[in-house]
Amino acid sequence: MAYDVSVILTMDCEPALFELSSLAKQLSGSGPAIYEQSERSIHGYVEAADNEGYPVTLFSHPEVARAQTDLLLELQSAGACLGMHLHPYKFDDRRYPRDLGGFDGDQQRALLCDATEVWSEALGQHPRYFRGGVFSANDDTFGVLADLGFEGGSLSCPGRILPQAMAVWAGAELYPHRANLSFRQISGDSDFIEVPISVDTSRPMARGDRHEAGFEWPYIPSRNYDHRAVARGILKQSAEDGTAFPTYVTNTHQDQN
């Protein structure tokens, strides 16, 4: 039986490595060496997706928004969606030396306000969508984002268990839903729309690229599993679940060809 699936190709756009502290590199080494590499990677990803008729969402770190303003606005005008990405220690490692889920609501609010100000000043608009680095979040995160004017995001990786990064999504919702502002793993009635990364629940993994437990998922750079099998599994799962909003959501970074 045929059914429609929303394909959403996303990219986390990280600061160039030369801008990062040793702590930031230790906690998350993803990112291009220089911004020329970033531009080539972003262009290549968007063009490849556009050739197949798929939209791209670019979650850019505030420093990327500032360094590559013209590129991001050019791609937005051509149809790309822009959102904000954030690793706290890449933004300010002295005040925020942990992943996002390691801070309480007031601390997250201060951090996100500062990061949003940089992003907004660079691009001339308030970010509407958000993704935290490593999918780190806690039960305060959705409420803080909603209060700050974000409309939605892609914060969750269902099934991920990575406690050292405060990224635990065991039992989380698999498909787009209204976020629960009190308990992140279940749907709620807020106006904040959460669009999870797709995962194949028929293919559990004991150890992912970051040594996390969870399910295999469309993280494009990964060489640890069969991407075709993952894609088939996600589509089969969506059909069997009969969800009203079947999605296939991928991710990559702009340090990849």
Domains of the chain: 6-250 (3.20.20.370)
Identify the pLDDT of residue 182: 97
DSSP-assigned states of every residue in 65-112: HHHTHHHHHHHHHTT-EEEEEE-HHHH-TTT--S-GGGS-HHHHHHHH
Identify the pLDDT of residue 103: 98
Cα 72-77-78 angle, rounded to 5 deg: 95
> From the CB of residue 135, how many other CB atoms can be counted at a distance below 10 Å?
28
Identify the pLDDT of residue 134: 97
* Residue among 188, 166, 163, 161 nearest 177 (CA): 188
Identify the pLDDT of residue 210: 78
Q: Is the pTM of this model over 0.85?
A: yes
Give phi and psi for 130, each to the nearest 5: -145, 145
Identify the pLDDT of residue 208: 75
Identify the pLDDT of residue 36: 97
List of the chain residues with pLDDT < 50 = none
Query: Are the CB atoms for 191 and 150 separated by under 8 Å?
Result: no
Identify the pLDDT of residue 161: 95
Identify the pLDDT of residue 99: 98
Give the Cα separation of 156 and 214 in Å (integer).
12
Residue with tokens 């160039």: 16
Identify the pLDDT of residue 81: 98
Residue with tokens 């909603």: 146
b vs e for 156-194, b when ≥16 Cβ sit within 10 Å of the residue's Cβ?
A: bbbbbebeebbbbbeebbbbbbbbbbeebeeebebebbb
Cα 171-173-60 angle, rounded to 5 deg: 110
